[in-house]
């Protein structure tokens, strides 16, 4: 009777262990093996582009009453290649949004190829290709943190228009970026992440500004 009781307990334990294996395999989170991922999302950009920056980049000494719109929407897409649980290479494209400014010229520099008297409008967009590293807590965990850093090859292009002429401009450069955020697993192979990124734009000649970007991304793992 005692042997039968022990046998029954042993059988029940074996059954519990057998049932626990497929239960663990059916976890809503991914396995511990690092996997390639793609990501994309939208956000908001806040540029450090003030009146003095407009005068520095586009002024001819005749501008006054300069107004700047330094906030815009942003979007990005990219992919990552893990090289371990806590490190991945990332590459992608980011559209940081549009920058606009307006002011009035007194026309005092028109003979020096400056602005004609009247309103002056400046409209441009800024985007970049980026490559960098991502440091992260293991992706197998349902909630995690990450930090990113790398280099962004950026392009700022647009138009300048005064009361008599219209021209285009293009400024390019390569500068570092930094970022950090939090992710939440929403499926076995998918995350939602919320992050902050800081970009620098300085071509050492005509552009010297930065951008703070807050974004929400969807991440799909393979």
The domains located in the chain, with CATH, are 34-221 (2.40.160.20)
Please tell me the distance from the alpha carbon of residue 210 to that of residue 177, in angstroms, as a whole number.
10
State how far the Cα of 45 lies from the Cα of 209, in Å rounded to an integer.
Answer: 13
Picking from 88, 160, 150, the residue whose alpha carbon sits closest to that of residue 122 is 160
Residues of the chain with pLDDT under 50: 1-27
Q: State the Cα angle at 33 between 28 and 35, rounded to 5°.
A: 85
Taking CA atoms, 13 is separated from 4, 39, 130, in Å, by 14, 43, 54
Over residues 90-99, the pLDDT tens digits come to 999 999 999 9
Tokens of 129: 């290709």
Tokens encoding 161 = 């228009």
What confidence tens digit (pLDDT) does each residue in 206-218 have? 899 999 999 999 9
């Amino acid at each position: 009777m005692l042997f039968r009781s022990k046998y029954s307990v042993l059988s029940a334990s074996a059954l519990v262990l057998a049932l626990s294996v497929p239960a663990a395999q059916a976890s809503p989170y991914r396995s511990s093996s690092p996997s390639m991922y793609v990501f994309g999302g939208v956000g908001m950009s806040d540029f450090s582009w003030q009146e003095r920056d407009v005068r520095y980049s586009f002024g001819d000494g005749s501008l006054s009453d300069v107004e700047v719109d330094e906030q815009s929407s942003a979007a990005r897409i990219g992919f990552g290649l893990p090289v371990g649980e806590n490190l991945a290479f990332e590459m992608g494209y980011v559209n940081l949004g549009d920058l606009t400014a307006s002011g009035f010229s007194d026309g005092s520099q028109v003979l020096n190829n400056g602005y004609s008297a009247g309103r002056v409008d400046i409209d441009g967009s800024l985007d970049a290709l980026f490559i960098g590293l991502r440091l992260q807590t293991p992706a197998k965990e349902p909630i995690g943190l990450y930090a990113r850093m790398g280099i962004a090859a950026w392009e700022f292009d647009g138009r300048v228009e005064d009361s008599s002429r219209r021209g285009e401009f293009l400024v390019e450069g390569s500068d570092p970026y930094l970022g950090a955020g939090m992710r939440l697993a929403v499926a076995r192979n998918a995350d939602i992440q919320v992050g902050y990124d800081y970009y620098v734009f300085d071509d050492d000649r005509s552009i010297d500004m930065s951008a703070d970007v807050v974004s929400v991304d969807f991440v799909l793992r393979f």
